[in-house]
């Protein structure tokens, strides 16, 4: 397994190059990169200062439980915290956790496919499919969506349980499901559904131990997963009355279409930009021509095994779930299981389609080379591996991010603690503006921040945006006084020269002390302090 991890780490470097060369300074140009770094930094900060208030993050002041407005990334935070405390540069830490998750996901799929097929080469093929298909590139900015290693490991534990009936594998199933929930709520919720279905399929047709030996391990695993999920879900239940369910139009917008499984990312070397081969955000789910051919070969060239049929059925269910309201099963879950009403992007269930295609591709590869000599099998592995890597290769976009405090924020960090408002704020119909960057910059001083960025935007925040829309008029000034704002930051990059002069002149006229102007990392910014 160590060699597999090393292999997929090397392949990750190759497939994301030149990311490895710029690993300490650059990342994907997207606001969610700021959000990722803010979450990791907040987690470590809260653990070391106020662990009982972990979910009361500093954004969207004066709201509570603001970390629960999106995926809290508990596992990622726990992994990152010691590195944060050790002073690891922030961009480097972000990229290590992101790229490391891709490599570990490939290695975990290798372990599952090798167990199912008995072939290391088939495991490598499956790992490449799972780790580098267009879905990965589509979500390269979403750290929690790269932490998929628990999925194949949970299925591996499930197979071992049904082959042996041993308690430790039942507990391993529950632990993997819990870890997936703590890594990504989206994946954890749907993994629970698909694992349950897989257990029913396997217990009926594919087990090596009697049913009576399965009951206690399965129950123990379910208790572990359920207990963790209930505890983790408490802050999300607290915020749900304030956020409500996802609107149906959002769910429809970010659900898959059947043609989504033919769409690759625009920067894919082979398919990017070709008519009919690209789609909108979240709906680029093509698993690859080579993977589909291998999976088909394994189903047609020989009589499929019971496990292949099980994975084909699971693939069909995952595909149907990813269609959201365009299918049937999600509508049932939406109506009767509250957690699913908070999930917007049903197309993300496509990662399970990819996983099951990878398993079937491993079976297909084994079928094709079953009668070949060792020399021919090695050559075939090289050919198939290269074809997959070429088909999946995409040109990465990168830009610099700061790991240390810009001069302006070092000045703010030296001031007495108080509520901060950063201007300009975005219009409600033009969100998120620079809110993600403002949230990340707050990690250099950790004061309460009126601004914020997350998967949900609280109603109170949206109302505040409306009341502060014409800052600094009387209505907006009443709002910042009510919020107890002590510091106002005015970013020159967000205003015209005339608007900037008007805003700063009004703040001075109100008696706010001008503490200085310096670089905010992008452009000059001026710090004002309320009297």
Rounded Cα gap, residues 456 and 185, in angstroms? 14
Rounded Cα gap, residues 503 and 496, in angstroms? 11
- End-to-end, the C-alpha distance of the chain in Å comes to 62
Rounded Cα gap, residues 64 and 53, in angstroms? 9
Give residue 88's pLDDT: 96
Rounded Cα gap, residues 426 and 412, in angstroms? 22
pLDDT digits (tens, 9 = 90+) for 194-243: 999 999 998 877 777 778 888 899 999 999 999 999 999 999 999 988 88
Which of 178-182, 276-280, 430-434 is least confident? Answer: 276-280
Question: Domain for residue 322, yes or no?
Answer: yes
- In this structure, are residues 176 and 157 in contact, taking their beta carbons and an 8 Å threshold? yes
Other Cβ atoms closer than 10 A to 292: 17
Q: Average pLDDT, stretch 262-269?
A: 91
Nearest to 182 by CA among 136, 146, 229, 240: 229
Nearest to 142 by CA among 184, 79, 188, 92: 184
Name the CA radius of gyration of the chain, rounded: 25
Question: Domain for residue 518, yes or no?
Answer: yes
pLDDT digits (tens, 9 = 90+) for 22-32: 999 999 999 99
Are 106 and 19 part of one and the same domain?
A: yes
Domain limit, last residue, from 329, 360, 392: 392
pLDDT digits (tens, 9 = 90+) for 73-130: 999 999 999 999 999 999 999 999 999 999 999 999 999 999 999 999 999 999 999 9
Domain limit, last residue, from 333, 361, 392: 392
Are 479 and 432 part of one and the same domain?
A: yes
Structural domain of 347: 2-24+89-392
Are 372 and 426 part of one and the same domain?
A: no
Question: Domain for residue 458, yes or no?
Answer: yes
Give residue 437's pLDDT: 95
Nearest to 464 by CA among 446, 452, 455, 454: 452
Give residue 244's pLDDT: 83
- In this structure, are residues 445 and 454 in contact, taking their beta carbons and an 8 Å threshold? no
Question: Domain for residue 45, yes or no?
Answer: no
Fill in the DSSP letter of residue 394.
Answer: B
Question: What is the domain count for the chain?
Answer: 2
């Amino acid at each position: 397994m160590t060699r597999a991890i090393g292999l997929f780490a090397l392949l990750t470097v190759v497939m994301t190059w030149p990311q490895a060369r710029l690993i300490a300074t650059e990342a994907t140009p997207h606001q969610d990169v700021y959000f990722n770094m803010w979450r990791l930094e907040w987690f470590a900060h809260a653990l070391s200062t106020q662990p009982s208030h972990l979910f009361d993050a500093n954004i969207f002041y004066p709201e509570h439980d603001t970390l629960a407005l999106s995926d809290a990334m508990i596992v990622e935070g726990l992994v990152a915290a010691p590195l944060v405390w050790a002073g690891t540069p922030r961009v480097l830490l972000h990229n290590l956790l992101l790229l490391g998750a891709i490599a570990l996901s490939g290695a975990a799929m290798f372990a599952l496919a090798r167990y199912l097929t008995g072939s290391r080469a088939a495991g490598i093929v499956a790992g490449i499919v799972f780790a580098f298909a267009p879905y990965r590139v589509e979500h390269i900015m979403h750290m929690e969506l790269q932490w998929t290693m628990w999925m194949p490991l949970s299925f591996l534990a499930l197979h071992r349980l049904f082959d042996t009936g041993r308690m430790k594998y039942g507990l391993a199933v529950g632990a993997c499901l819990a870890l997936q929930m703590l890594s990504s709520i989206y994946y954890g919720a749907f993994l629970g559904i698909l694992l349950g279905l897989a257990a029913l399929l396997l217990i009926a047709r594919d087990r090596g131990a009697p049913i009576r030996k399965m009951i206690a391990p399965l129950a123990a695993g379910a208790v572990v997963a359920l207990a963790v999920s209930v505890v983790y879900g408490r802050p999300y239940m607290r915020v749900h009355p304030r956020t409500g369910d996802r609107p149906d139009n959002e769910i429809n917008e970010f659900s898959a279409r059947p043609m989504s499984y033919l769409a690759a990312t625009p920067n894919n070397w082979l398919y990017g930009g070709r008519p009919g081969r690209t789609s909108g955000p979240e709906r680029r789910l093509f698993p690859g021509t080579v993977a589909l051919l291998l999976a088909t070969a394994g189903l047609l060239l020989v009589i499929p095994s019971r496990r292949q049929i099980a994975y084909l059925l699971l693939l069909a269910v995952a595909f149907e779930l990813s269609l959201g309201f365009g299918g049937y099963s999600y509508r049932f879950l939406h109506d009767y299981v509250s957690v699913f009403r908070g999930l917007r992007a049903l197309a993300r269930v496509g990662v399970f389609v990819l996983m099951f295609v990878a398993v079937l591709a491993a079976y297909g590869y084994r079928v094709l080379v079953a009668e070949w000599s060792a020399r021919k099998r090695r050559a075939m592995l090289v050919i198939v591996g290269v074809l997959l890597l070429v088909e999946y290769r995409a040109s990465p976009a990168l830009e610099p991010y700061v790991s240390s405090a810009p001069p302006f924020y070092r000045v703010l960090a030296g001031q007495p603690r108080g509520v901060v408002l950063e201007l300009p704020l975005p219009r409600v119909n033009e969100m998120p503006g620079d809110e993600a960057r403002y949230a990340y910059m707050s990690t250099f001083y950790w004061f309460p921040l009126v601004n914020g960025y997350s998967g949900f935007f609280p109603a109170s925040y949206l109302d505040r945006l409306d009341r502060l829309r014409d800052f600094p008029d009387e209505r907006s000034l009443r709002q910042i006084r009510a919020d107890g704002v002590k510091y106002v930051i005015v970013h020159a990059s967000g205003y015209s020269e005339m608007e900037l002069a008007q805003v700063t002149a009004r703040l001075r006229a109100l008696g706010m002390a001008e503490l200085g102007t310096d670089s905010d990392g992008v452009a000059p910014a001026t710090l004002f302090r309320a009297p």
